[in-house]
Structure 1
């Protein structure tokens, strides 16, 4: 074999060995990288997995729970019946009694928080927030995911607790409490990070060399004062928003639902504990109205969300003004549903019934009045009356009674406190020509006479300026008004001081949307009712006397943060801001400095290339002249 052939063979063997070695290295590297990737994914899976925690239903939520039935149930029932007070109660303290408004069953009597108690809770929240402010979105999402899993797996317990304390039905609890809360948790998990991560903003030609960003920083400790109509959702919604945005929160619940709120919030605190975070991030205040100003006037509180009546909302706004605390106010409404001519009434009657009588009418975005064309008024009125007469009122959590089926379409109202006012406005409307063919008065349940029931009611064509047509009823009352023209229907819809939600129904969706745009409110559903709240990407809130500000959606989440603008150089090694001599202190020449600035304004902002060119010439000449001098 010649030396040339031998050399070629050795070269070929060497190349093949080199390729084999390279292939082996590449294979090992790929397997090593794959192993690292799998470890990371495993870690992320474990990190992001929902944490299981145990929070059992309280015994009072059991249908067979036995306790005292209060003959005349009220928040201060213990004042006349000292047996309702807890053992060892302090005479100098104030107490609040919780009871089932559907039956009058005594649940518990709680010691109300004093001013000092509230201050301590605010301080505890502030201390816990210092560390939570630096938590990662992964940490916050783990809490949200754990809460969502617990909520879904404990629907039955949540519905029973909500029904026991507010008198609502299981169906109303499922739709208004559990469904909406799960939707909010889902939105936070899917989109909350996007809403709060640093956001790049545009730069103009003048500052094109700068990078502009907005960072959304936690405020610290925020507060929420919420109403009683949805004890689960109204407590969880502001809490999870506050936690996800890096804040601590002090929740002031309604005196009517202290028992259920403490249990619902207790689940969140237990979740935080299970996830190795400080449960003191969430505080619940249970107090009477005079002590609430300790919270609303606190300089530690950096934002307040209020859900409730207009009168109380004004007081909260005045108190918050003392420290210029920003507010989100949701003050209820008189939500109209405009039914356009030619609408198929049979198609939508079930939606209208649900919109009116959901939660016994105690629903801030419930339908308060149906506005229907005069050609369909009689038909709609008869349909609503007929179906309303078939509604059954009663408790869903009650011990078995012979001959009585524990089932109800409409639950109890929260208390009897408003029965007299409802009777007064209904009587006034009837005296002035309105028709009431069913309901119109309190309902005394044959087995649970202490329940706070009001007959489902239908009122036809009350005067537009009557109290019935102008005020928020928050009761199981269907109000039906007729109109001749669509313009008149819009005037009826806009003719109250409120502007929260609304609905428009009609056979032509395009036209219905045009009408919806003319209603002065914060939210409108087309051929539906209240569906805007199931989409948690949308801001929730109203205008006029319905309040201001928004919760839910990116707007609501960002309202709980300080949006901080941060501007930096894109290429700091290449270009940064410099001060030309012509405008540097001390100013060499007032005339030349003005020529420079006016030329700069013309160059960057004048209309047309010629005007900008003249500005550039003016700018350069001013700078040259100054340099030469």
Structure 2
């Protein structure tokens, strides 16, 4: 009898605990009898600890920790550095005075360096000693050792950390943008659009939806498993690796860090050597925030090393996932190395994203959008517009609108520099080949010699028209401030042209009819399509 009573009481308490606060509140204001009120009060007392815990968690997640991370002097507009005559990653080999004496040797062996410089001015920023394979392995081990404890942090702690990072970005966005500009040569407008706004968007999504996305989720089963409960639980992977590109030096470094830490992983970031100076400062800001929040800064490790050393990272068995942003040849090497140790990868390679302009499109309305799509960050944008397909009926008008706009762009003011001088010869060769095959260059088409910064890596904003799809310029990723225009006569034929490309990153479709835009978008074989955006 006692056992039966105990079982019944347990069942009653379980039922009471399933009542929501709304049900309890409604019933109190509409009590049918005293017994019902008593039951509801008991239920409320059972649920109260849970609601109290939820309130405390919510309050903790709203906590914002202030911290200081000074902007380096090199980022200020008034700063003037030493001009390097022929700036490149290995300028210190031509001029040994660029290497500080204390960085020349390590353990009796010569240490490798890279020269960090501003590609817009040629100013020397830093000559940085690179990590050896052993030092890189040590940093991976450090992140690996910090992961079990980090996985025990609560979502509230992680959200508080993200809120603190967001507050830093909002407070110091001008300084962050200038650091990115100094290391990449981009304009401040491009830095705000491509670095600050995108990072804030990522932060907002993680803060608002991250916990919900990673919380356990029920899954329906079939009739034979009706008596079972199926749930998906998301567990941290461990230590993950991000190999990131240089074109968005802040966003590309910070974005995988935020996602990994929120998921309970620790992360090793291998930045591009081209932006090592800014990457060190950005990751330093993340570590400063972790310290201020009372969290372990070892959960984030930045490595700066040569490509041959980086190959050892992708084969390190402590790494449980690899993200790569970069070129197609390097991406193949990363995928092959990861396959050897059976590690999953997420790889984003190059693109040749087209703007597909349908007949009847309002050209004047979208002209500014297309200008930004082609020339943001000097065209060094993986999802920038590399190719404009314009229907023959509007082809002349499109050229008429774009020619004065492109010609008016001022290198160093409206459009920043390239990341280095290295691409310039290739660009001039591709444009010359296109001209020889019948294309016309209406503006630009060659390197720009800046009147103040003679060592700057500038390329004139370029408009090239009468391009056909069999030309190299229509098939190769340029990653440069070049607007390439191709006329077409038949929409479906043009779709076929684009689907033959080996690239399939993204595309944009523009037109008056949403139905026709969607029809074209659905036929394009690429990862993402924007409509009238």
Q: Quick check: TM above 0.5?
A: yes
Q: State how far apart, in whole Å, the 2-side matches of 1:326 and 1:72 are.
A: 40
Aligned to 1:190: 208
Equivalent in the alignment of 2:104: 90
Using the TM superposition, give the Cα deviation of residue 39 of structure 1 relative to its aligned residue in structure 2, in angstroms. 10
Structure 1 unaligned residues grouped into runs of 5+: 1-22, 395-407, 529-629
2:164 aligned partner: 146
What's the offset of the Cα at 1:139?
A: 1.2
**Structure 1: distance between partners of 2:309 and 2:377:** 29
Q: How far apart, in 2, do the equivalents of 1:308 and 1:85 lie? A: 29
**Structure 1's 142 and 438: CA in aligned 2 closer, same or farther, altered over 3 A?**
same
In the TM superposition, what is the alpha-carbon distance from 1:488 to its structure 2 partner?
1.8
The answer to whether the 8 A contact 2:58-2:156 is kept is no
Q: Secondary structure at the match of 1:499?
A: coil
Q: Would you say the 8 A contact 1:200–1:213 is kept in 2?
A: yes
Partner in structure 2 of residue 325 of structure 1? 343
Which residue matches 2:499? 494
1:58 and 2:83 aligned: no
Moved over 6 A (4+): 33-40
Q: 1:272 matched to which residue of 2?
A: 290
Give the equivalent residue in structure 1 for 2:299.
281
- Given that residues 507 and 530 in structure 2 are in contact (C-alpha distance below 8 angstroms), is that contact kept between their aligned partners in structure 1? yes
CA shift, 1:41, in A, is 4.5
Say if 2:91 is the partner of 1:73: no
* Alpha-carbon distance in structure 1 between the residues aligned to 2:267 and 2:52: 38
Corresponding residue for residue 213 of structure 1: 231
Greater gyration radius: 1
Structure 2 counterpart of 1:104, from 103, 122, 134: 122
Please say if residues 85 and 455 of structure 2, whose CA atoms lie closer than 8 Å, have aligned partners that are also in contact: yes
Which of 267, 276, 279 matches 1:249? Answer: 267
Query: What's the CA shift for 1:44?
Result: 4.4
The 5 A counterparts of 1:120-139 are 120-139=138-157
Q: Which residue of 2 aligns with 1:236?
A: 254
Q: In the aligned structure 2, how far is the partner of 1:72 from the partner of 1:251?
A: 29
Distance in 2 separating the partners of 1:447 and 1:454: 15
Say whether 1:452 aligns with 2:470: no
For residue 480 of structure 2, what is the aligned residue in structure 1?
475
Aligned counterparts of 2:59 and 2:505: Cα–Cα separation in 1: 42
Residue matched to 1:10? none
Match for residue 562 of structure 1?
Answer: none
Pairs within 5 Å for 1:499-538? 499-528=504-533
Q: Distance in 2 between matches of 1:83 and 1:250?
A: 32
Q: Which secondary structure does the structure 2 equivalent of 1:458 belong to?
A: strand
Give the conservation status (yes or no) of the 8 Å contact 1:219–1:302. yes
What residue ranges of structure 2 are gaps of 5+ in the alignment? 1-36
Find the partner of 1:432 among 426, 433, 437.
437
CA distance in 2, matches of 1:447, 1:503: 37
> How many residues in Structure 1 have an aligned counterpart in Structure 2?
489
Q: Match of 1:497, SS?
A: coil
Check the 8 A contact 1:338/1:493 in 2, yes or no: no
Q: CA deviation at 1:174?
A: 0.4
Q: Alignment RMSD, CA only?
A: 2.1
SS of residue paired to 1:216: coil
Instruction: Show the 5 A alignment for 1:17-28.
Output: none
